[in-house]
Structure 1
Amino acid sequence: MSAPLFRTDAYLREAEARVSAHTLEGGIVLDACLFYPTGGGQPGDSGQLHWHGENGLCSIGIATAVKGEGGDIILLPSEPAALPPVGSVVVQSLDWDRRHRHMRVHTALHLLSVVIPLPVSGGQIAADKGRLDFDMPQAPEDRAEIEEALNVLVSLDLPVTEEWITDAELAANPDLVKTMSVMPPMGAGHVRLVRIGEGETQIDLQPCGGTHVSRLGEIGRLRLGKIEKKGKQNRRVYLHLDS
């Protein structure tokens, strides 16, 4: 199992690890992984690995990371190249700007689910925008109000924190789950919750496995994008980072 370093510190940009395996498809498995694997609508991280080989310093580009079996995270090279040998120590280096933009967008989508308090049937994150699909038969008429409400929340600069509860506690509190199509990962005995605000200033609490900014002010100004009809009951709402 790859220890998920991104889970304990989403701001960690470089870290050492040891190569524990290669996959038949040419992927790389590390014993401790800095790269977030594709999941929950959030793309896998990209970056590089560096190590000392027989002929000096070697490196390989990582295009993305995906989930493997048994908790492994598999790093997929951006092009065919010699892989770091199993057992060797590598330095992982993230494409930090891309990761941080994913964090900003992901937290912004949590805010969107606060401003539009309807069940969510899907979502997707990119480096400049994101979208949520809502159980929303009619498109909202107050686009300007939605955008303003989002930016007011960002300006509050509330803290974004996490906590863990048991599977049983989540089952006893089903209202914590906003997504209709994707259930939070269960079966390991505990589930991660992401909280925005604290005490009387709390505005959101929901299960989530993705990476987030530590304070809302990091998101920056938001712009509401297209609202598309996706079926009889669904509306797809896009949200953009202004910079």
Structure 2
Amino acid sequence: MTEPLFLDDPYRTSAAARVVAHTEEGGVILNRTIFYARGGGQPGDSGTLDWDGGRIPIATAVKGAEGAIVLVPAEPSALPPVGATVDQRLDWDRRHGHMRIHTALHLLSVVIPLAVTGGAVGADKGRLDFNMPDPPEDKQILEGRLNALVTRDLPVSVEWITEAELDANPTLVKTLSVQPPRGSGRIRLVRIGEGRDSVDLQPCGGTHVKRTGEIGKLVIAKIENKGKQNRRVTIELA
């Protein structure tokens, strides 16, 4: 199992680690990593690995077997040997964009309180698909509500519950297409706001900003009809 350092500190941009294995496809598995592995609509992180005698660019990170996170080189090249110590460095601008957009999409699910059927996170834009038979109200009104939540500069925090607690509160899950991973006995929740100012709480394994004010101004770029019951809402960083 790879220790996911990004869960405790998504702002960490570098870390030393030890190579524990290579994959048949040419990936690298470390004992711990700052690279987020693709999942839940959020892309895997990119960056570099440096070691004594070499460097490789990392294009993305994916989930492997038994809790491993596999770092995928941008192109076939010599890998750091098993047992070697490497220095991981993150493409921070790209990661930070993912964090801002991911938190913004949680806010979008607040201003459009409908079941989510899909979604995708990018570095400068993202989208959610909603179970929405009828067109939404005026786009400018939705955009104003979204930015009002951003400017409230609400804190974003993480908490954990048991799988049994989630089963007792099924409405916490907003996404119809993606269910929280099970098997460890614990479910990670992301909360936006606190106390009476708490506006959102839902299972999520992604990376987020510390406060909503860090997102910056948002634009609802377009709302598309993607089927009889499905509408896609795309947001962008202004």
TM-score (norm 2): 0.99
Secondary structure of the residue that 2:79 maps to in structure 1?
coil
Aligned position for 2:48: 48
The 5-angstrom pairing of residues 55-66 of structure 1 reads: 58-66=54-62
CA RMSD of superposed structures (Å): 0.6
Distance 1:32 1:180 in 2: 31
Instruction: Indicate whether 1:36 and 2:32 are aligned.
Output: no
Out of 203, 214, 220, the position equivalent to 2:216 is 220
Mapping 1:106-145, distance limit 5 Å: 106-145=102-141
Aligned match for 1:146, one of 142, 145, 153: 142
Which of 171, 182, 185 is equivalent to 2:181? 185
Deviates further, 139-148 or 99-108: 139-148
SS in 2 for 1:149: helix
In the alignment, what sits opposite 2:70? 74
SS in 2 for 1:225: strand
Matched residue of 2:171: which SS?
Answer: helix
Aligned match of 1:88: 84
Hey, what does 1:3 align to over in structure 2? 3
Q: Following TM superposition, where does structure 1 have runs of at least 4 consecutive aligned residues deviating by more than 4 angstroms?
A: none
Larger displacement relative to structure 2 (205-214 or 223-232): 223-232
Cα offset for 1:231? 1.1
Distance apart, 1:141 and its partner CA: 2.9
| In structure 1, C-alpha distance between the alignment counterparts of 2:150 and 2:124, rounded to whole Å | 17
Specify every segment of 5 or more residues in structure 1 that has no aligned partner in the other structure, as ranges: none
- Deviation at 1:186? 1.3
CA displacement at 1:33 relative to structure 2: 1.0
Is 1:175 matched with 2:171? Answer: yes
Q: TM-score, normalised by structure 1?
A: 0.97
Percent of matched pairs sharing the same residue: 66
Distance (Å, rounded) in 2 between the aligned partners of 1:52 and 1:187? 38
For 2:14 and 2:177, locate their aligned partners in 1 and report how far apart those are by CA, in whole Å: 34
Shift of residue 79 of structure 1? 1.1
- 2:19 paired residue number: 19
Unaligned stretches of 5+ residues in structure 2: none
CA offset at residue 225 of structure 1?
1.2
